[in-house]
Amino acid sequence: MRTNKLEVTKQVTAGIALLALALAGCDKPAPQVAPPDPPVQPAPAPAIPDAPPPDPAPSPAPAPDAPPPTEPSAVPKPASSGEPRVESMLAAIPSTKMGVAVDLRYSFEGEVLPNQPVIVHLAAVPRVGGANMRVSVQQSAGLQMAAGPLTVQKASASGVYRQQFSLTRLPGTPEPLRVLVTMQMGEDTGFGYFTIPLDGGTSAQKQESVKQR
């Protein structure tokens, strides 16, 4: 009888121990699981500052103005170092019917040779006062030239009105140079043609030939 009680006591004690172990297992906290580390984000690339715009190319300097062409002188003026004196210039040959009171003188800077340009100087000298005087070089066969007319609104007596231009003689026998001069004198307008021979030589050569006579 005592043996049964002892067995019962051992079973009760073992049951209590198992129950205590079971309760202890329930009270033990669950292990904490560490969350995974967040992915490493790549560092943003440093911002590159915008490059400044290139400097605009400098504007080219304007070309210097070309010197204006020599214009005929519409007012009397003394001869400069590059112009012959009126006294040294040759007298152009007037036509037989002259209706204008103007003398015309000329001078070549060199001999008039084929295919060689030469400068021609003209000087119109009115003998009386007038208005609208015009000196026009006429085109001649065998000659190349670019001479604009000389126009004077008011011409005074004994005034000197000059003009110069380049002339080129073509091969062959060219015609003489002809110049038309017109001027208003009072209510009438006179005109006259002048002839300039091409073989007359320069004024210096002409004066030298006169001195030798």
The domain segmentation of the chain, as residue ranges, is: 88-203
pTM above 0.75, yes or no: no
Q: Within a 10 A sphere around the Cβ of 188, how many other Cβ atoms? A: 9
pLDDT for res 96: 85
What is the CATH number that goes with domain 88-203? Answer: 2.60.40.1230
Helix (H) or strand (E) holding 26: helix 2-27
Exposed e or buried b per residue across 17-45, where buried means at least 16 C-beta atoms within 10 angstroms of its C-beta: eeeeeeeeeeeeeeeeeeeeeeeeeeeee
Of 96, 111, 137, nearest in space to 206 by CA: 111
Segment 42-85, tens digit of pLDDT? 555 555 444 455 555 555 454 444 444 444 444 444 445 578 99
